[in-house]
Structure 1
Amino acid sequence: MLINCVAYQEGKKLTDVPVVDISEHLKQPDTFVWVALKDPSTEEIALMQDEFSLHELAVEDAARGHQRPKMEEYGETVFMVVHIVELNGDELNVGQLAVFAGCNFVLSVRRDSSQGFLGVRARAEREPHQLRKGSGFVLYALVDAVVDRYFPVLDALESELESIEDHIFGQQGEQRANVERLYALKRKAQQLRHAVFPLLDAVGRLYGGRVPGVVVETQDYFRDVHDHLIRIAGRLDAVRDTINTAIQVTLSMVAIEENDISKKLASYAAIFAVFTAFAGVWGMNFEFMPELKWKWGYPFALATMVGVCGYLYRRFKKAGWI
């Protein structure tokens, strides 16, 4: 689906462009065309390929989606893929933004994402001095917007982790739920990590040393994006380490709880074993117990059993087993 198709000249919006007229505007000096697509059909992708002379391999990646974040050069065109990570309730939704940036055009293809980039276009149009830098600045603005959206997602993960940590030493019986929440949180952190770490390498190739001609004037901006990614990566590593530690602590709490239960079972088993032992020695078939013809033998046997069991109960209670 076509979202926007706009021509810009010397940093200012020239006009909205019908798709069939794109090639005409590309011929004008100091002009570039910015096209935005969302979940395009095969026919729309093929049309853009013809209009902008896009490489077939890059078009294939943009059409299929689910690509690893990367930056590739095809002649004078930069092809970049970034993951759009969005919070959808308690789940993370991962979409994709593929951007083609040439000397006189920008084509963005958004897939599996509900968040648009109209704000990015509005921001660029408010800064004509930046928009004069051409497609390189638009590429930066799009990538920067995606990276900025990682921060609230990371904040949410950290807040959820703090909430789980508060319950680790809570009531017994909650450990299973805590482990399940921790593993779910670890999966979310891993999804964000898969978006961030490959992008570090891709953005790192857009400043310093030999860079594509499209981004020569915007290298400093991409360095800033790279710094943001480094900050996010550091926080992600901290979250992952904390999750692993929390899982180990929770499993240790489970082991301690199981050990306490085993102690209680063993204690009560020992107490009831006393009855079995005395009854086995004295037997239950005599006229009087514990010795033959002893009138007070039966009460004495019961008192002995109760006394010994009470003594064991006190010892186990004092030891903390019960």
Structure 2
Amino acid sequence: MLINCVVYQNGTKLADIPASEISSYISRPDAFVWVALQDATPAELEEMQKEFGLHELAVEDARHGHQRPKIEEYGVSLFSVLHLVEPAPDNPKELNLGEVNVFTGSNYVLSVRNRSQKGFLGVRARCEREPELLQHGSGFVLYALMDAVVDRYFPILDEFETELETIERDIFSKGTARSNIERLYELKGRVMVLKHAVAPLLEGAGKLHGGRVPHICTGVQDYFRDVVDHLSRINALIDTMRDTIGTAIQVNLAMATIEESEVTKRLAAWASIFAVCTAFAGIWGMNFEHMPELKWKYGYVMALGLVASVSALLYWRFKKARWL
């Protein structure tokens, strides 16, 4: 679906145009066309390929989707794949993984957004408010799109940190070890989704500000370096969080072992107490004739008192040793 198709000249918006007129504007040396598509059909991608002269391999990747984040050069053009990580609308604890494919040439930018409901109208408005930067052309638009995608990672990372802190506070609460481990593994899975979006993009974005910079990015290297700095920071935080989650899982497993040990000690203590009672009952239950207490008037009371006294003594000793 076509979201918008706009031509810009010398950093200012010239006009909204139909897709069929794209080829007549991209031939101008001081103008470029910015097209945005959402969940594009094969027919729409084929039309854009003809209008912009897109490389067939890049179009094939955009058509199939589910690509690893990357930035590839095809002659004088760039093809970028960015992952859109968003909380699921029906369950904030789950993540939706969308994708935006950006084709960038010297006189055009084509963004194809898939499996995501959050658009980039704010990015377009930001660029139009800064005509002196938009004069850099399609390279600045690519930066603005990448910057918007990376900025959306920060709130998700903050949510992860808040959830991890909550779980850490519950680690030493009795009876929560199993549920904590389940929550930690679930959080670890979502952290890895973000990791898979950030790490490959960090590797690709590094080519846009250092070394042999593509011609499209000439003049805006400093802006791409800022994106790389943000990605590096996010990647470091993710690695720290993964280590913390691993440590928290180990602590929870240790707590579960300790709780099991406590239960074992309680069972052993009660078993010892009942073993004494069973021993006394077994002795007097044999009914030997030469056991004077069997015919004694107070023998039954004495037997019960002895059993109760020994059991109480054992209970006190186990309680003192914190087995009960």
TM-score over 0.5 for the alignment? yes
C-alpha separation in 2, matches of 1:102 and 1:294:
109
Superposition deviation, residue 179 in structure 1: 1.2
Equivalent residue, structure 2, for 1:101: 104
8 Å CA contact 2:107–2:138 kept in 1: the answer is yes
Residue 281 of structure 2 is matched in structure 1 by 279
Q: Secondary structure at the match of 1:96?
A: strand
| Distance (Å, rounded) in 2 between the aligned partners of 1:265 and 1:293 | 36
Matching of residues 212-231 of structure 1 within 5 Å: 212-231=214-233
1:184-220 per-residue CA deviation (whole Å, 9 max, x = no partner) reads 1111111111111111110001111112111111111
Q: Offset at 1:276?
A: 1.3
Deviation for aligned residue 1:177: 1.4
1:118 aligns with 2:117: no
Do 1:289 and 1:301's aligned partners in 2 also have CA atoms closer than 8 Å? Answer: no
| Superposition deviation, residue 288 in structure 1 | 9.2
Calculate the TM-score normalised by the size of structure 1. 0.96
1:134 and 1:156 mapped to 2: Cα distance? 35
Structure 2: distance between partners of 1:133 and 1:36: 19
In the alignment, is the contact (CA less than 8 A) between 2:294 and 2:300 conserved in 1?
A: no
Aligned equivalents of 2:213, 2:29: Cα separation in 1: 24
Counterpart of 1:212 in structure 2: which amino acid? P
Q: Compute the displacement of 1:240 (Å).
A: 1.0
Alignment partner, residue 51 of structure 1: 51
CA deviation after TM superposition for structure 1 residue 125, in Å: 0.7
Most deviating of 83-92 and 255-264: 83-92
Name the structure 1 match of 2:7: 7
Match of 1:16 in 2: 16
Q: Deviations over 1:45-86 (max 9, x none)?
A: 111111111111111111111111101011111001111111
Amino acid at match of 1:29: P
Q: 1:124 is aligned with what amino acid?
A: C
Quote how far apart the aligned CAs of 1:242 are. 1.1
Find 2:132's aligned residue among 129, 134, 143.
129
Task: Name the CA distance, whole Å, in 1 between partners of 2:124 and 2:41.
Answer: 23
Asked if the contact 1:289/1:296 (under 8 Å) is kept, the reply is no
Tell me, in whole angstroms, the C-alpha distance in 2 between the residues paired with 1:60 and 1:217: 30
- 8 Å contact from structure 1 (residues 205, 211) kept in 2: yes
Native 8 Å contact 2:109 2:142 kept in 1: yes
Give matches, 1:185-200, under 5 Å: 185-200=187-202
Percentage of matched positions with identical amino acids: 61
Residues 1:157 and 2:160 are matched in the alignment: yes
Counterparts of 1:270 and 1:110, CA distance in 2: 69
Question: Distance in 2 between the 1:69 and 1:317 partners?
Answer: 60
In structure 2, the gaps of 5 or more residues are none
C-alpha displacement of 1:296: 3.1
Q: How many pairs align? A: 321
Report the counterpart of residue 94 of structure 2 in structure 1: 91
- 1:251-275: per-residue Cα shift (whole Å, max 9, x none)? 1111111111111010000000011
CA–CA separation in structure 2 for the residues paired with 1:278 and 1:166: 48
Find the aligned partners of 1:300 and 1:289 in 2 and give their Cα distance.
Answer: 13
Question: Cα gap change, 1:245/1:48 in structure 2, threshold over 3 Å: closer, same or farther?
Answer: same
- Answer yes or no: is the 8 Å Cα contact 1:77–1:100 preserved in 2: yes
How does the TM-score come out when normalised to structure 2?
0.96
**Deviation, structure 1 residue 286:** 5.4
CA, structure 1 residues 290+282, in 2 after alignment: closer, same or farther (shift >3 Å)? farther
Q: Whole-Å Cα distance in 2 between the matches of residues 145 and 18 of structure 1?
A: 26
Contact 2:102–2:112 (8 Å) recurs in 1: yes
Q: Equivalences for 1:279-298 in 2 at 5 Å?
A: 279-285=281-287, 291=293, 293-298=295-300
Name 1:261's counterpart in structure 2. 263
